Structure 1
Amino acid sequence: MRFGVEFKPLNDFAIRAGTANNPSRFSAGFGVAVNLFSVDYAFFTHNDLGLTHQFSFSVHIDKKEDKQPPETEPVVATQASESSEETPEATQAAKEDREIEKIDINNATIDELETLPGIGEKLAQAIVRFREQNGRFDQVEDLVKVPGIGEKKLEKIIDKIFVRKISRK
Structure 2
Amino acid sequence: MSGSINKVILVGNLGRDPEVGALQNGDRVVRLSIATSEKWKDKSSGEPRERTEWHRVVIFNEPVGRIAEQYLQKGSTVYIEGQLQTRKWTDQESGQDRWTTEIVLQRYKGELTLLGSRNQLPNNNNEQVSSNNEQEKPKVLDEPLSIDDDEIPF
Q: By percentage of residues, which structure has more helix? A: 1
**Which has a greater percent of strand?**
2
Whether these two folds match at TM > 0.5 is no
Normalised TM-score (structure 1):
0.20
Larger Rg: 1
TM-score relative to the length of structure 2:
0.22
